[in-house]
Amino acid sequence: MSDTATASNQDSHHGLVENNKKLLMWLFLGSDCMFFGTLIATHLIYRKLYPEAYDPTTVFDLELTSFSTFILLMSSFLMALAVSAMHKGQMKSFRRNVIGVIFFGLIFLGCQVYEFTEFVHLDLTIQTATFGSTFFVMTGTHGVHVAIGVFWLICMYFYSHTGKMDPHESAVDVEVAGLYWHFVDIVWIIIFTVVYLIEFIGKT
Amino acid sequence: MSQVDYAPLPVADTHASDENAKYHTFVNLALVLAAITGIELVLVYLPFNSVLVFSILISLSAFKFVAVIAWFMHLIYDKLLLTLAFGTGLSIAGGTVVALMFIFDRSHVDFDAITAF
C-alpha cells in the first residue's frame, strides 16, 4: 500500500514537472512573439514611411528564400516526428530525425549567410540604408534563434548517446526543444510573407 | 559513447494508435505546407489584382502559422492553459504591430521635422 502511494506521488510529481516545463516554454514563446512583433513592425513602418527610399526587389532572390522556407518547414516536420518517436520510446528514430533537423537548420543558416553576403556585395549593409538596418536586425535575430536551436539539438543528440537519456523522463525535454524549433519556423512564415513576398506584388 | 537503444515504451494500444494517427497527420500537413509555399511563390508572379494577391498571401500565411502551432506544436492535443499562455503573448504582439502601423501613418508624420535633424 505504501509502495503504491509512493509510486503514485512520484508519477504526479513527474506530471507536474512536465506541465511546468511546457508552460514555461509557451510563456517564453509568447514573450518572444512580442520581441519579433516589434522588430517586424519597425521594418514595416520604415517601408511604409519611405517606400521609395529603397527597392528591395532589386536585391531579393525570391527563389532562394522560398527554398529556405521550404527547408525550414520540412525541418519542423522532422522535429514533430522526433518528438513522436521519443514518446514511443524509439531512440534510433529520434536520433535519425534530430540529425535531419540539424542538417536542415544548417542549410537554412547557410542560405542566410549567402544572402547576407550577396547583399553586402550589392552595397546593402546595416549602415547604408534604413531598409538595411531594419532588415538585417530582424532577419539576423531570427538567424541567431535558428543557430541556438541547432546548438540545442546537437547537444541533445550527443546526450542521447551517453545512455543517460531515458525516453520516459526526457520526452518532455525533447518536446520543449521541439516547441522552440517550431516557433522559429512560424516566425519565418510571417517574415517570408510580410518582408519578402509582399514586396514583389505588382512589380513582376 | 554508448550505443544502447531502448525497448519501446509499454504504451497502451490506444496511445500507440494515437501516435500513428499523428504520424499521418504530420505527413499530410508537411505536404500541404510545402504546396502552399509553392503557391505563394507562383502567386506573386501572376498578373492578378494587387489587393487580391495581398489578401490571399496573408490568408495563406495565417493558415500556415496556425497549422504549425495547432498540429506540429501539439496545441490542439494539449491543455487550454497553454493556448492561453501563448495566445496572450501573441495577442499583445499582434495588437502592438497593428497599433504602431496606425500611429506611424504616413499622413500623421511630420517629415520636415524629421529631416530638420
Which has more pLDDT, B104 or B14?
Answer: B104
What is the pLDDT, as a whole number, of residue A9? 63
Average pLDDT for B74-81: 91
Alpha-carbon separation of residue A73 from A163, A186, B77, B97, B115 (angstroms): 30, 9, 20, 25, 43
Query: In whole angstroms, what is the distance from residue B61 CA to residue B33 CA?
Result: 10
Give me the pLDDT at residue B1, please: 44
**Mean of the per-residue pLDDT values of chain A:** 91
pLDDT score recorded for residue B9: 52
What pLDDT does residue B108 have? 66
The domain total for chain A is: 1
Q: Could you report the per-residue pLDDT of A66-95, keeping only the tens digit for each? A: 999 999 999 999 999 999 999 999 999 999
pLDDT at B6 over 80: no
Higher pLDDT pick, A53 / A56: A56
A112 vs A16 pLDDT, higher one? A112
Q: What is the DSSP string of A83-110?
A: HHHHHTT-HHHHHHHHHHHHHHHHHHHH
**CA angle in degrees (0–180, nearest 5) for B65-B71-B72:** 80
Of A140-144, B6-10, B75-79, the range with the lowest mean pLDDT is B6-10
pLDDT at residue A129, as a whole number = 86
pLDDT of B10 reads 53
For chain B, positions 60-79, list CB contacts with chain A under 8 A.
Answer: 60-61, 64-65, 68-69, 71-74, 78-79
What is the per-residue pLDDT for B104? 85
Q: What is d(CA B84, CA B105) in angstroms, rounded to the nearest whole number?
A: 31
- Looking at residue B96, its pLDDT comes to 94
| Mean pLDDT across A149-176 | 93
CATH number for the domain harbouring residue A154? 1.20.120.80
Radius of gyration over every alpha carbon of chain B, rounded to an integer in angstroms? 22
Q: How far apart are CA B56 and CA B52, in angstroms?
A: 6
Give me the residues of B, 8-47, that contact A with CB < 8 A.
Answer: 8-9, 11, 16, 19, 22-23, 26-27, 29-30, 33-34, 37-38, 40-41, 44-45
Out of A109-113, B9-13, B48-52, which region has the weakest mean confidence (pLDDT)? B9-13
Domain range for A50 is 2-200
Pair A39, A137: CB distance under 8 Å:
yes
Rounded to two decimals, what is the model's pTM?
A: 0.88
pLDDT interval class at B16 (50, 70, 90) = low
Q: Does B57 touch chain A (CB under 8 A)?
A: yes
Question: Which range is least confidently modeled, A71-80, A125-134, B32-41?
Answer: A125-134
Is the ipTM higher than 0.85? The answer is yes
Average pLDDT over residues A152-165: 94
